[in-house]
Amino acid sequence: MMILKSDSDIRLMRKAGAIAAGALQTAGESISAGMTTKELDRIIESYIRSKGAKPSFKGYGGFPASACISINHVVIHGIPDERTVIRDGDIVSVDVGAYIGGFHGDTANTFMVGTVSDEARQLVEVTRASLMEAYQLLRGGVRLGDIGNCIESYVQQYGYSPVKDFVGHGIGRALHEDPNVPNFGRAGHGMRLPKGLTVAIEPMINQGTDKVIISNEDGWTVTTADGKLSAHYEHTFYIDENCGHILTQV
C-alpha cells in the first residue's frame, strides 16, 4: 500500500533528508586513499548523531554499520570494516540514511578517489546523469515504467546495464515502503505514482552484465557477476502535481 504524505510529513522528511545529505557531503569531503571503510563509517555516524538523528541502516535487518560503503565491483551493501582500505583510483559508493522525527531520508553517491580511469569516470557520470534524467519525469501520475525505462535507455546508450535484482523504493516512516521503483521498464506501463508520494530512486548501474552475486559469507555484500565496475546514486524525492522535489539536499 502506498502511503501519501501530508505537508507536515514533508517538512519532517526534508529535515531527515538534509541530515542524510549532510552526512554524504561529509563523507565526500573526508574520503581519501589510505583510510579504511570503517574509518569513513565512523565519520558518517558521528555526523548523523551530532544532528540528533539516528543512522537508518544500523541494525536494519541486522546490518552492522551506519553506511553501506561499496568499492569498484561491489554494487551495494558493502559492510565497512578495518581490513578494507580505500585506494587511489577507486570508485566508492556511499549509501546513507538518517532517521529523525519519525521519518527517514536515504541518499547515495559514488565518489572518485584520486586519479580514476576514464572508463570509471564515465560510468560514475552516466549513473548520476541517469538519476537526473528520471528526476525530470517526476510529477503526479507518472508511470513506474516511464521512470525505469528512462534510466535503462539512458545508460544503455553507453553499453551499461541497470541492476534488476535490486530496486528503488517508497520511503517515509519506514525505510522501505511501497512501491518498488525499478531502474528498468517499459515506457507507458506500470502503476501511476500519485501526488503526495515519496520515493527513493537509486540507479545501480553496471559496466557489464546486470547479473549480481550476493555474498554467502556475510549475506549482504552484492558484487557484479563479471567483476566489472558498478556505480550507484540515490535521492529521496517528493512527488507533487507538477514535478518532483529532492528531499535529500543540504
Digit-by-digit pLDDT tens for the chain (250 residues) are: 999 999 999 999 999 999 999 999 999 999 999 999 999 999 999 999 999 999 999 999 999 999 999 999 999 999 999 999 999 999 999 999 999 999 999 999 999 999 999 999 999 999 999 999 999 999 999 999 999 999 999 999 999 999 999 999 999 999 999 999 999 999 999 999 999 999 999 999 999 999 999 999 999 999 999 999 999 999 999 999 999 999 999 9
Dist CA 6 CA 141 (whole Å): 18
pLDDT of residue 188: 97
What does pTM read for this prediction?
0.97
Dist CA 230 CA 91 (whole Å): 9
Helix, strand, coil distribution of the chain in percent, nearest 5:
30, 30, 40
Dist CA 242 CA 244 (whole Å): 7
- Cα distances (Å, whole numbers) of residue 66 to 12, 39, 78, 137, 241: 21, 11, 11, 31, 34
pLDDT of residue 24: 98
pLDDT of residue 48: 99
- Contact by Cβ (8 Å): 182, 169: no
pLDDT of residue 104: 98
pLDDT of residue 133: 98
* The domain over range 7-245 is classified in CATH as 2.40.50.140: no
Dist CA 16 CA 2 (whole Å): 20
Query: Which are the contacts of 152, defined by CB distance < 8 A and separation ≥ 6?
Result: 162, 183, 184, 185
- The length of the chain in residues reads 250
pLDDT of residue 202: 98
pLDDT of residue 176: 98
pLDDT tens, residue by residue, 223-250:
999 999 999 999 999 999 999 999 999 9
